Structure 1
Amino acid sequence: MNKILKNIFWIFFDKMFLAILQFFVGTKIANHYGSESFGVYNLAITIVSFSTLFFELINERVIKKFFLYHKFNLIIYNINFFRNTISIILFLLTVLFGKFYVSNQLFYYTLILLCFDNILLTTTSGIEIYFNYKLNSKNIVIINNIIKLLSYIAQYVGILLNYSIIMVPITRCLGSILRIFVLKKMYKTNYLKDKKSKLKINIVLLVKMYKESIYLWLGFLGSLVYTQMDKLMLGGMLGNKAVGVYSVAVTLSQFLAIVIFPIQVSIYPKMLELYKKNKRDYYNFYQKCNTLITQFYLIASILSIFIVKLFFLKIYSFEYVDAISIYSVLTISVFFKANGALQTGHVTIRNIAKKILYKTFSGLIINMILNYYFIKKFGIIGAALATAITNFITLFLLDFFIKEYYRQAIIQLKSLNIFNLKNIKNMFKMKLD
């Protein structure tokens, strides 16, 4: 357990440090360039984020399962090749089609630079997955954050020098180039001291991982679409300014959700181990972890609303004031994400991911309908309402009606009971390491 907690801390520190940089520098960018340009930039980010859809054809949790049965350096090499190849193809398609179909030059060049940044990031994606799998995030977090700090300082200097907003994706690319050299050096130092075997592209291995990932990927497909649907529909119905205001609220909600990912990444290897050894210990561990996460976010979500209301206008200009009420609604979405944080890991371990499709595509349809109706009726905040309701339905309610997921639904329901916290202290007494 001690190793898990340490890994959670380091990944949390990584996410928190990045969130703080994004918050302060992002605020400067939003205020300096205005909601129109800021909206264009965020719309480009939203579109490029769909590239993750192709990277997840081989799911990260499946990759970690394969580390148990295959040489880790072979898997890392093939994952880097797979994701890097996809990012190069997407970059070329963006350059080609954008030249003919995108009239806004700022938007076009921002898309190109962000796609190029994807190429750089996927060069080391397999390495990062392995470091997380080994619960060894500390070795990369500090140096990684030094690079991020340099990148954001460069962005801030660009603002002071009154450069175009295009300098933001440029500095991202420069930081990613430096990051490649550092991560590859650390990977060789920590794990490849005695590894001199020649690695080859293994299509059979990639296909095996793809086949095991397919239902998770289809679920991720629907999830990605409906989580980005709000910005796309806002842009189409209310314009770039609305996207800019909404993006500020989303950024704040991401700051609230910052602990979820470190917990998921750090707990998953232990869940894999416990499920193989003892199912009873596995479900006890699942319940206790889920209760702790849920109760923490119940308190954190409520407190954050008051904090945002108190300090928002001291940081952002008045044109973003609507983001306060939008954020308050989005905290509901974050809460249900926290309550269902261990879902995907659980269904992956039990090989019952197939019915995630029912939930995800139901969520996609519900989200599209609610976005269309609520944006027309309530404006920008309607998108937040649509997202909150969709997350409640897909991450909590639907599980009670799917036989294979009923047990996890009960676990999540019990996690809402604050009196279960008295048993949490026993979790830390479990000799799990």
Structure 2
Amino acid sequence: MNASWVKLLPGFIRARLESRHGLQAIIGNTGWLFADKILRMGAGLIVSVWIARYLGPEQYGLWNFAIAFAALFGAFAALGLDNVVVRELVKNPARQNELLGSAFALKLAASLCMLIMAIAAISIARSGETFTLWLVAISAAGYVFLSINVIDFYFQAKVQSKFTVIAVNGAFAIATVAKIALLLIEAPLIAFVWAGSVETALSAIFLLAAYRINRQDIRKWRFRAEVAVELLKDGWPLILSGLAIMIYMRIDQIMIGQMLGDKEVGLFSAAARISEVWYFIPVAVVSSVFPSVIAAKQLEEALYLRRLQRLYNLMVGISLAIAIPTTIFSGWIINLLFGANYIQAAGTLSIHIWGGIFVFLWVACGQWYLNENLQRIAFLMALLGILVKLGLNYVMIPAYGIEGAAMATVISLVVATYIFDFIHRKTRGMFWMKTRSIFFILDYKSWRNLC
């Protein structure tokens, strides 16, 4: 039976989708993910901009420094289990309770360790700055509640992301109203940090409710040591890879804060906020589309690679459609959103936005690495990106300021997510596929084949 929304489509599109129930499920699931992210992107960006204007570059920079610092340790708390657990749930649905129970116990223990490590590290990095320590501690505490997000793995495996969307957006809506109230009463910075952690706690509560509504019971979860070891064995390269990615994404703000100051962190964060707000697109698309790519591998290798190539082409096409106008109108965008106090971030935005092409490809290719059991190579790729970025930041931030940090971001992304594939023989095929996707915009037939 066709999904109810299919009949609302134009006839020529409906004809392509009727009776293709697998494709309808993918599109429907992607639609929910997009609705989630668009709502959060729109409302979240508006409130974030309002807060940035209210706090000013320096306090906004300190807030982002604290978030970035906590996020470095938060990546460890994820334990690289996300895709591994989803994969195992798809393969072995009968093991649901032991997989979710073991994953939850692992993530909870890791998040508590992470909280202690984050507090210890900030005490050393910014010795004597008690206020900064509190900001980091509160931000890091939110990651403890993310342990319950293993419920989302269940919904991903069932291609029922709408339940996660409803739960997370319920918490987001409450937190957004709270932040607006804080703005209206002119609350201090620390109140906004607390609001962020409360949002995470509410998300956990609502996910539990959604799980219960689906006639599932967390009391049936069971921790099994052998399952935990199995998950960690598959996930440990992704732990390192996830940690490497988070270091890669956040090290700019930390290095800028230590080398230039909190105001410069605020300016850079304004530009990065606009660039990174689009990163939900590849995550939403890939999480819904990639199961069909995996299924194609069971049928025919050539079909598998064709679908993967189309995915890469789509990623590049979307990212270019974002990067070109953002570069042209960067000054106008910064002034409109953040105001004159942040206008120095315009040049940074026009550079930073081009990293999106390789982030989009990275997200798509990351699933290929997992499906081909190349997690160790994925970690080496991420490690290379960090080393290149650290080296470039060390040289370019003192020389070119926050624009130097943006240039370091783009160059290191090119090296890690594109050139690296050519270096390693097992991934060289991906290099040529990515090359075709980068130049596919010149080929009209490639555009037609996306449909």
TM-score strictly above 0.5: yes
Contact 2:73 2:117 in 1 (8 A): no
Q: State the Cα distance separating 1:99 from its structure 2 match.
A: 6.7
- The farther-off stretch of 63-72 and 200-209 is 63-72
Moved more, 295-304 or 325-334: 295-304
Given that 1:291 and 1:420 are in contact with CA atoms closer than 8 Å, whether structure 2 keeps it comes out as no
Task: Please give the TM-score of this superposition, normalised by the length of structure 1.
Answer: 0.91
Structure 1: distance between partners of 2:241 and 2:121: 28
> What is the 5 A alignment of 1:394-433?
394-416=416-438, 417-420=440-443, 422-423=445-446, 425-426=448-449, 428=451
Contact 2:71/2:140 (<8 A) preserved = no
Once the two structures are superposed, the pairs formed by residues 12-91 of structure 1 within 5 Å of their partners are: 12-67=34-89, 68-69=91-92, 71-91=95-115
* 2:248 maps to 1:248: no
Q: State the SS of the aligned residue for 1:211.
A: helix
Write out the 4+ residue segments of structure 1 that deviate beyond 6 Å after TM superposition.
none
**Equivalent pair of 2:74/2:140 in contact (CA under 8 Å):** no
Q: Which runs of 5+ in 1 are unaligned?
A: 429-433
Change (3 A) 1:97 1:413: closer
Instruction: Report sequence identity in percent.
Output: 20
Pair 1:217–1:115, CA change in 2 (3 A): closer
Kindly indicate whether residue 292 of structure 2 is the aligned counterpart of residue 270 of structure 1.
yes
Using CA pairs under 8 Å that are at least 6 residues apart, name the structure with larger relative contact order, 1 or 2.
Answer: 1
Q: What is the CA deviation profile of residues 375-418 of structure 1, one whole-angstrom value per residue up to 9, with x for unaligned ones?
A: 12111110000010000111111211211001111111111222
Quote how far apart the aligned CAs of 1:160 are.
1.3
Contact 1:58 1:209 in 2 (8 A): no
| Structural mapping, 1:32-431, within 5 Å | 32-67=54-89, 68-69=91-92, 71-94=95-118, 102-122=127-147, 124-192=148-216, 198-416=220-438, 417-420=440-443, 422-423=445-446, 425-426=448-449, 428=451
- 8 Å CA contact 1:245, 1:320 repeated in 2: yes
The one-letter amino acid paired with 2:163 is N
Compared CA separation, residues 127 and 196, structure 1 to 2 (3 A): closer
> C-alpha deviations, 1:217-271, integer Å up to 9, x for none?
3333333223222111111110111111101111100123231111122123223
**RMSD over aligned Cα, in angstroms?**
2.2
Q: Are the aligned partners of 2:59 and 2:189 in contact in 1 as well (CA < 8 Å)?
A: yes
TM-superposed deviation, 1:177:
3.1
Q: Which structure has more helix as a fraction of its residues? A: 2
Per the normalisation by structure 2, the TM-score is 0.88
Q: Which amino acid aligns with 1:42?
A: N
SS, match of residue 189 in structure 2 = coil
Query: Which secondary structure state, in structure 2, belongs to the residue aligned with residue 200 of structure 1?
Result: coil
Distance 1:96 1:325, change over 3 A: closer
Unpaired runs of at least 5, structure 2: 1-22
Segment drifting more, 59-68 vs 329-338? 59-68
Residue pair 2:294, 2:371 contacting (<8 A) in 1 also: yes
**Structure 1 residues 343-352 or 314-323, which shifts more?**
314-323
In the comparison of the two structures, how many residue pairs are matched? Answer: 425
